[in-house]
Amino acid sequence: MKLWGGRFETEPAQIMEEFNASLPFDQRLYREDIVASQAHAKMLGKTGIIADEDAKAIVKGLKEVLADFEKGKFVFTATDEDIHTAVERGLGEKIGVTAGKLRTGRSRNDQAVTDLRLYVMNDIDQTVDLIADLMKALTDRAEAEGGAIMPGYTHLQKAQPITLGHHLMSYVFMLERDAARFTDCRGRADILSLGSGALAGTTFPIDRDMVAAELGFTRVSSNSLDGVADRDFVLEFLAAAAVTMTHLSRFAEELIMWSSREFGFARMSEAFSTGSSIMPQKKNPDAAELVRGKTGRVVGDLMAMLTVMKGLPLAYNKDLQEDKESLFDAGDTAKKCLRVMVGVVETLTFDAARMSKAADDDFITATDLADYLAVKGMPFSAAHTIVGNIVKICVRKNKRLTDLSLEEYKDFSPLFERDVLDVIRVKRSVERRTSRGGVSPDQLKSQIAEARSLINKFRRPTA
């Protein structure tokens, strides 16, 4: 019989049964549902709302139901509308009619959102661990091979020389903010909704603080309508996942370019590449391409849930059943992509010589020339114009900046002296950028040290 069947005279249509059921996807919440139910039963017994022996029987029966799930022995039936119905039915088969007392003082509305909050908190812990793994993989590569000089780009045009380490570390600090976003989201998911009832609380003298402590929540919802009606913590999780995936996608895009013959900066290992069914020579960067593609999927999950939430009147509406599939998909996708990217980064092969050669042309130290004149006292705007003219002449004569003699430089400005020939060297350009966060070797060491500290901050202590 349905949990809500008392008022109805006929059974739902078969298509409605299928349309209404959430069990195909919410069954993965079985552990959260059972753990939350055990905490609720203990509270009912301690407060005297139900007999203590009944509470103990419920807790024991739920433990047996959980064991059945863990061993793969729990069998769903056609009458199981959702995971809550299934667990209660399973409990009834263990302890009989006493199982019905578990429903005292709660609703599926506050039960469902409590399960979801527990799930999100646990999923965030796993995701942050994986982000820390990727941060470490990138930092390790930056430390080992980060001195290799390469072009930095704006508008996908060579701009200024940087190092491989500096480039890799940029993603480490993006990922640090991703981990922080998830951690912040966890704090806002950490609110017990159980006890809100369907929407108005309950007349029973429940102890919500006891349940919160039992389940590891640090706060209890202050308003029963808010407790059951909002899913902002799901939206925030999806937003954090979408931003993280966007960062992964940008890196994936660069790896795809870098592994092409045109760039040749890096080679992805065969373990994370595939071939072509028709072109024998192909080695495709499919791992990176899939990460790039799956980013659209996670962004779509966020957009879908924002659209679900935008017009819902208080309090609970069945639309909220849609929260789970988007949440599960985004979380699963992000975690899988993070795992893959760790493997990709750990097995990449970089071509330092190819990167260095690419950095040694296209007037990549032109800004250094302008800075040189500015240091000599010339307004930077004037220096910018002079160097622009130098580049224009070089393009016309098919020369590089390093091809010009000191006399030719002096034709543009008497401020140029012999040391200008050192300033325009690519290696010197990198070494001289010592401002905090810059590309110099010392700054790279500082960034790596900072990253190691951040990684440790996000690591959960091991038992």
pLDDT (tens digit, 9 = 90+) per residue, 190-209? 999 999 999 999 999 999 99
Scan for tokens 């806002």, then name that residue: 188
Average pLDDT score, the chain: 95
Selected from 1.10.40.30, 3.50.50.60, 3.40.50.1820, 3.40.50.720, the CATH number assigned to the domain covering 360-458 reads: 1.10.40.30
Q: Residue 319 and residue 127: Cα distance in Å, rounded?
A: 27
Scan for tokens 């200024």, then name that residue: 160
Asked if 27 contacts 76 with a C-beta cutoff of 8 angstroms, the reply is: yes
Reported as a pLDDT band with limits 50, 70 and 90, residue 281 is confident
Bridge partners (DSSP) listed for residue 157:
154
C-alpha distance from residue 114 to each of 67, 100, 173, 245 (Å) = 21, 19, 33, 27
Mean pLDDT of 167-187: 98
Residue 5 gets which letter from DSSP?
Answer: G
* Percentage of residues in the chain having pLDDT higher than 90: 89
Q: Residue 197 and residue 342: Cα distance in Å, rounded?
A: 43
Whats the size of the chain, residue-wise? Answer: 463
Mean pLDDT of 7-13: 76
Q: Residue 282 and residue 296: Cα distance in Å, rounded?
A: 26
Exactly one of 84, 107, 155, 222 is catalytic; name it.
155
pLDDT at 417: 95
Q: Residue 261 and residue 282: Cα distance in Å, rounded?
A: 11
pLDDT at 114: 98
Sign of CA pseudo-dihedral 71, 72, 75, 80: positive
pLDDT digits (tens, 9 = 90+) for 49-71: 999 999 999 999 999 999 999 99
Mean pLDDT of 67-95: 95
- Indicate the pTM of the whole model: 0.93
pLDDT at 78: 86
Q: Residue 164 and residue 148: Cα distance in Å, rounded?
A: 5
Active site residue 276: yes
Mean pLDDT of 289-316: 96
Reported as a pLDDT band with limits 50, 70 and 90, residue 380 is very high
pLDDT at 379: 97
- Residue 4 predicted with pLDDT over 60: no
Exactly one of 166, 273, 276, 356 is catalytic; name it.
276
Q: What share of the chain is helix, strand, coil (3-state, %, to 5)?
A: 65, 5, 30
Reported as a pLDDT band with limits 50, 70 and 90, residue 224 is very high
Q: Residue 232 and residue 309: Cα distance in Å, rounded?
A: 9
pLDDT digits (tens, 9 = 90+) for 413-460: 999 999 999 999 999 999 999 999 999 999 999 999 999 999 998 887
Write the DSSP string, 171-192.
HHHHHHHHHHHHHHHHHHH--B
pLDDT at 15: 79
Asked if 130 contacts 343 with a C-beta cutoff of 8 angstroms, the reply is: no
pLDDT digits (tens, 9 = 90+) for 391-410: 999 999 999 999 999 999 99
CA 329 to chain centre: 13
Q: Residue 256 and residue 36: Cα distance in Å, rounded?
A: 46
Q: Residue 81 and residue 145: Cα distance in Å, rounded?
A: 56
- Structure tokens given for 165: 């380490």
Mean pLDDT of 77-88: 93
CA 255 to chain centre: 19
- Structure tokens given for 120: 């999100």
Taking the CB of residue 43, how many other CB atoms lie within 10 A of it? Answer: 26
pLDDT at 1: 55
Phi-psi region of 260 (alpha: psi -120 to 50; beta: other; left: phi over 0): beta
Asked if 417 contacts 375 with a C-beta cutoff of 8 angstroms, the reply is: no
Selected from 3.30.70.100, 3.40.50.1360, 3.40.50.1460, 1.10.275.10, the CATH number assigned to the domain covering 5-104 reads: 1.10.275.10
CATH topology classification for 116-148+166-358: Fumarase C; Chain A, domain 2 (1.20.200)
pLDDT at 89: 96
Q: What angle do CA 121, 228, 177 make, to 5 degrees?
A: 35
pLDDT at 16: 81
Q: Residue 189 and residue 315: Cα distance in Å, rounded?
A: 18
Sketch the domain layout of the chain as residue ranges: 5-104, 116-148+166-358, 360-458
Active site residue 167: no
The radius of gyration of the chain from alpha carbons, rounded to an integer in Å, stands at 30
Residue 322 gets which letter from DSSP?
Answer: G
Reported as a pLDDT band with limits 50, 70 and 90, residue 6 is low
pLDDT at 423: 93
* Percentage of residues in the chain having pLDDT higher than 70: 98
Reported as a pLDDT band with limits 50, 70 and 90, residue 361 is confident
